[in-house]
Structure 1
Amino acid sequence: MSANRWRAAALLTGVAVAAAVVVAPQAQAHPDHGHGGGHSKDRVIGYFTNWGIYGRNFTVRDLDTSGTAARLTHLNYAFGFLDAQGNCVASDAWADYQKPFEAAQSVDGVADVAGQPLSGNLNQIRKLKKKYPKLRVLISLGGWSGSKYFSNAALTAESRKAHVKSCVDQWIKGNVAPGGAAAGVFDGIDLDWEWPNSTAGDPGNISRPEDKANYTKLMEEYRRQLPKGADLTAYLPANTREITSGFEVSKVLRLLTFGNLQGYDYHGAWDPTTNQQSGLRTAKGDPTPAPGFSTQVVVDAYVSRGAPRDKLVLGVPFFGRGWTGVANVNNGLYQKATGPAPATWEAGSEDYKVLKTKVGVGGYKVYRDEKAGHAWLYDGNNFWTYDDPTEIRRKARYINSQGLGGAMVWSLDADTSDGELIKALHRELSC
């Protein structure tokens, strides 16, 4: 599985309506819920994928040895799923709480033994929290392939109550593992419903016009049932079409500890023409109809709808999007392509740690648009839009200048073994 499968391209499966976006004055601070709210540009949230322990061989221990855990305020564990009745279930029981880890893969160097109450990633996260007691860990529910039944769960007062009770029981009280063995692992819930009242999600997702109002009601139910001090966050779309159709923005942000904005997948190989996937601003030469897709467009869209800036956390990609068969014109930017570029796990999507190794090899060169704020790699045929440490630092400075609430990373397994990107992000945010 890959970032594309979970995050991907439905964000931009149509052209956004061209409309002027008015930036509202700084919103009044809303009451904060739980931890991590208020003015906190230093928030760093990172997604850890439960499938990363397989092909990528990326374990919870790697969060420690790379220096990543020390730089995170929140760790989002992806993903928990919903069944057809809207109840919370594990998406991979083996990875979550069954797999025994050897001593070399264990956070504290102690191997799992047969019959212990909790194994798998969740036991390793518990060990990580012991070593980093300030780290908040949230279970992320849904994702690209796990959002099919959210509409059912949110449909009525009864279904909302049952859904939230199930999720609190499974993940907060720890009953996802036998005997409640996972109690205390999670400090809150991150809702990743992609997307309410939208057909742009994974094919087969259930969608209703009522989703927009029901999303708010679902968040209200979470607030009623979550323990005092628990975090409640959400993954929020970049496309103004999905924002408008699916979210009562000001109401939702009042209920959230903070919201994670999709700051990437603005473009990808689903587009016939190369472009940036995470640029800060829309370039003048961008052929996308106005206002285009950029971080500034996304932030303005939320602020203009009543979102407080300090509750908006900007998503930053630790992966790139790529095309092949790209004409050698304009260094490959805004050129027609024949399809997605070859990659390790899925064509058109590649980890930063791999893209880094291409620089200066086989004709690859790095190009930047300093004004629009994005970078790309091009070798005369293959084009990759990605963030390196220079662009990550640029995004951190943008977060600081805009008074935003921090940065969110998708996903931590795409960084180098020594945490090159997370170090650059944390250092600049802390300035």
Structure 2
Amino acid sequence: TNALIGVISTVAENKYFLIAASTKLVCYFTNWSQYRPSSGKFTSGNVDPFLCTHVIYTMATVGPDHQIATVEWNDEIMYKNLNNLKNVNPVMKTLLSVGGVFMGYSPFIDMVANAANRATFIHSALLLVRTHNFDGLDLAWDYPGHNGSNAEDKERFTALIQELRAAIEQEALDTKKTPLLLSAKVAALRSVIDIAYEVREISRYLDFISIMTYDYHGSWEKVTGHNSPLFKSYLDKGSHMYHNIDASVSYWISNGAPAEKLLLGFPLYGRTFLLSSTETALGAPANGPAAAGPYTREAGYWSYYEICSFVSMAKVGWIDEQSVPYATQGNVWLGYDNKESYSAKVHWLNSMNLGGASVWTLDLDDFQGQFCSDGAYPLLLLQISVTGFPPKPTTTQPPTTTPNPITSFCTGKPDGLYPNPADETTYFQCFRGNTYLQYCQPGLVFIDGCKCCNWP
């Protein structure tokens, strides 16, 4: 169940198949993206159930009574809509992320303060995720030891994770259900990591860890810098030498985190600067952010679908030593990701034997294919899934002049699971007319009667 669903795109027919590989593709989406205007609006109904191995609903929070709490008026409706997608793709896993900051203060602070408060939260959290058919819980505390949190919260966060793991295992024994997953979204900068986490200890109890390998640079700085560089730049001095993916991931590993539990964070957004001179390269003088995008409406922060229209008219450059692009037009400087940088990051991820990729967020890609003239989810689908996680070929492809019977299998068929007459160890999933090839676990075959894989 922890397999990555690798995606092959057959551009000619605009269809894609899913097959199992050995890596996670974890995708967040936010419950505030429903309030973006027009084509920027994203709800759980926009989630493609075949795109990611795990989808994380962001976010729930912690109430003053130390219990998990919903945030939006329609969260429970969107929980149901999201988890109903598992009827279409039972392989997809869903988690509920808990976090938030209110008046600059994290609700985790009071909750972790003592064992009784933590127990209250744990009981409520397990009940909520089971009630709404989630497969796990994701912790998103930005960050222990910061923003009003004291130094002792580093150890208290470890205690929370240990106690959650124990409660999850006990609940699974009591209910005879599959144990819930437990993950965390964590900081990338070593100065934060040192204060916030007992890395080796929390890694032992978490199923996977999403490192936020982005926001390394932004309009809060006085010179241009890239949002998510793979490597350091010759301009980086002092602590800025560690403001890159390579430094962050290496630091987590050197502190005791198993590489196979670490997920590399891929941002589906970029960060902008206003140039304050005629210089336009990396490190050019800057003063504040460019105007907010029309959909995300946050100064200095543009979604990938907002970036597409800008880049089409801008001068695009490539930062060789960091393997990332930038674009300029007038006095606007944008550091962003594209297919080439995603490909470079995926190859690096694989070379490090990491557990997979974590995407922030589905709602920031061109999820309906309306902006970038490149189909739905162009950056995520075509780069992470196709370029980064190639499937194993199983049959010889027919000549291009011959229609592929697999790609057309689901044409006109209702959504659901169907046996593959050519191979009983595989089966087809049909969704919205698209054909998806799924693989049973080794030794199992697909049984049409139960719509499941079982022993022959």
8 Å CA contact retained: 1:269, 1:340? yes
Residue in structure 1 matched with residue 185 of structure 2 by the alignment = 235
1:193 aligns with 2:141: yes
Moved more, 315-324 or 222-231: 222-231
Q: 1:221 aligns with which of 141, 151, 163?
A: 163
1:82 aligns with 2:62: yes
8 Å CA contact retained: 1:147, 1:192? no
8 Å CA contact retained: 1:86, 1:152? yes
Q: Using the alignment, how far apart are the partners of 1:252 and 1:158 within structure 2?
A: 20
Query: What amino acid sits opposite 1:131 in the alignment?
Result: V
Query: What amino acid sits opposite 1:379 in the alignment?
Result: Q
Aligned residues: 351
8 Å CA contact retained: 1:46, 1:408? yes
Residue in structure 1 matched with residue 303 of structure 2 by the alignment = 351
List alignment gaps of at least 5 residues for structure 1: 1-33, 98-119, 175-181, 200-205
Residue in structure 1 matched with residue 118 of structure 2 by the alignment = 160
Residue in structure 2 matched with residue 62 of structure 1 by the alignment = 46
Shift in CA distance, 276/305, structure 1 to aligned 2, threshold 3 Å: same
- How much identity, in percent, do the aligned residues show? 29
- Secondary structure at the aligned position of 1:46 is classed as strand
Shift in CA distance, 42/429, structure 1 to aligned 2, threshold 3 Å: farther
Moved more, 307-316 or 336-345: 336-345
1:295-330: CA deviation from partner (whole Å, max 9, x where unpaired): 01101111110111111101110001001134232x
1:265-300: CA deviation from partner (whole Å, max 9, x where unpaired): 001111121101100100112356452300011011
- Secondary structure at the aligned position of 2:164 is classed as helix
Tell me how far 1:388 sits from its aligned partner: 1.1
1:405 aligns with 2:359: no
Tell me how far 1:147 sits from its aligned partner: 6.3
TM-score (normalised: structure 1): 0.78
Paired residues for 1:29-428 under 5 Å: 35=2, 42-55=23-36, 56-64=40-48, 69-94=49-74, 96-97=75-76, 120-145=77-102, 148-170=106-128, 172-174=129-131, 182=132, 184=133, 186-199=134-147, 206-226=148-168, 227-228=171-172, 229-286=179-236, 289-329=239-279, 331-344=280-293, 345-361=297-313, 364-416=314-366, 417=368, 418-423=376-381, 424-428=383-387
8 Å CA contact retained: 1:85, 1:152? no
8 Å CA contact retained: 1:48, 1:412? yes
1:385-404: CA deviation from partner (whole Å, max 9, x where unpaired): 11111111111111111111
Query: What amino acid sits opposite 2:157 in the alignment?
Result: Y
8 Å CA contact retained: 2:272, 2:300? yes
Shift in CA distance, 395/143, structure 1 to aligned 2, threshold 3 Å: farther
1:140-188: CA deviation from partner (whole Å, max 9, x where unpaired): 0004559612121112121111111111122x232xxxxxxx3x2x100
TM-score (normalised: structure 2): 0.73
Query: What amino acid sits opposite 2:73 in the alignment?
Result: A
Shift in CA distance, 356/380, structure 1 to aligned 2, threshold 3 Å: same
Shift in CA distance, 217/408, structure 1 to aligned 2, threshold 3 Å: same
8 Å CA contact retained: 1:47, 1:412? yes
Q: Using the alignment, how far apart are the partners of 2:2 and 2:341 within structure 1?
A: 29
8 Å CA contact retained: 2:233, 2:241? no
- Secondary structure at the aligned position of 2:98 is classed as strand
Shift in CA distance, 367/402, structure 1 to aligned 2, threshold 3 Å: same
Moved more, 82-91 or 220-229: 220-229
Q: Using the alignment, how far apart are the partners of 1:368 and 1:86 within structure 2?
A: 48
Residue in structure 1 matched with residue 416 of structure 2 by the alignment = none
8 Å CA contact retained: 2:187, 2:211? yes
CA RMSD of superposed structures (Å)? 2.0
Shift in CA distance, 288/378, structure 1 to aligned 2, threshold 3 Å: farther
Query: What amino acid sits opposite 1:371 in the alignment?
Result: E
Q: Using the alignment, how far apart are the partners of 1:248 and 1:287 within structure 2?
A: 27
Shift in CA distance, 147/308, structure 1 to aligned 2, threshold 3 Å: farther
Residue in structure 2 matched with residue 110 of structure 1 by the alignment = none
Q: Using the alignment, how far apart are the partners of 2:53 and 2:239 within structure 1?
A: 37
Tell me how far 1:210 sits from its aligned partner: 1.1
Q: Using the alignment, how far apart are the partners of 1:51 and 1:242 within structure 2?
A: 26
- Structure with greater Cα Rg: 2
Tell me how far 1:45 sits from its aligned partner: 0.7
8 Å CA contact retained: 2:28, 2:361? yes
Greater relative contact order (Cα < 8 A, sep 6+): 1
Residue in structure 2 matched with residue 429 of structure 1 by the alignment = 388
Q: Using the alignment, how far apart are the partners of 1:253 and 1:317 within structure 2?
A: 23
Query: What amino acid sits opposite 1:138 in the alignment?
Result: L
8 Å CA contact retained: 1:231, 1:257? yes
Shift in CA distance, 288/387, structure 1 to aligned 2, threshold 3 Å: farther
Query: What amino acid sits opposite 2:355 in the alignment?
Result: G
